[in-house]
Amino acid sequence: MPELPDVEVFKRYIDATSLHKTVRRVTAPAPKILADLSVNQLSRALCGQRIEASRRWGKQLFLELDSGRWLALHFGMTSYPRYQRAETLDDTPDARFDAVRLFFDNDYLMAFNSRRKLGRIRLVDDPEAFARDQQLGPDALAIGEDDFVQRLERGRGGLKSFLMNQKQLSGLGNETSDEILFQAGWHPARQVRSLGESERRRLYRLMVEVLEADIDAGADQDRMPDGFLLPRRREGERCPRCGGDIRNVKAAGRSAYICPRCQPEP
């Protein structure tokens, strides 16, 4: 499932390829990913429009049209954007999994590829209103340290559950939450209320460091810095810190990968 770093990489890719180009034609080979929206409605909303800007909120990506409306993209599992010359479409093996294609006036297209058809596309009037309606917490890279600390002070349950609660923070998933807790040396079942003030602030700084490192690596686990769990986040792999075995455990009903030596159970 794409998490905040993946969606930020998608955002930068779209910014570099698809801004300020006029949409001439829209097709939807897999219209089931359109949420409360028909293909004709999508086409009428987009044709003649340009994508002027983008904004990410957690795992959601919003593309601003010059009409003032926004195209909201949720990538679900295995979805991603692809930009290419329209004339090469028939030679692109993955094109059979395209759910929606926007054809631009420069003879290129942007495809929303969704192999498992779990992504979603919507039209919205305002990203912030949409986030409120969806009960999304602040973006994990946009939240300030004091706000983060206050949410932890009011929080309940285990640390992994807190980090993955999209009503508290938007954007963190299984992988990034595991990495943050590995860097902290804390078990995912450790209770939020057990953290002291300095530990809450340390968790915030580690969250930002992990997200920024992941984005710098292009959301490619194999390019993560030495000492990170993500490239070894599999049962039986060796811990990059102590050499012990990585294990899969359950914490408040959630699956987590940890090093039992470095992250002892509370």
Kindly list the catalytic residues.
2-3, 59, 254
- Indicate the burial class of 91 (C-beta count within 10 angstroms; 0-12, 13-18, 19 or more): exposed
7: nearest Cα among 173, 230, 160 = 173
DSSP-derived letter for residue 229 is S
Look-up of token digits 């998490």: 3
Q: Measuring CA to CA, how many Å separate 65 from each of 81, 184, 229? A: 17, 41, 39
Decide: 109 and 145 in contact? Cβ < 8 Å: no
Q: How many CB atoms lie within 10 A of CB 105?
A: 12
Phi, psi of 19 (to 5 degrees): -75, 150
Q: Can you tell me whether residue 102 is helix, strand or coil?
A: strand
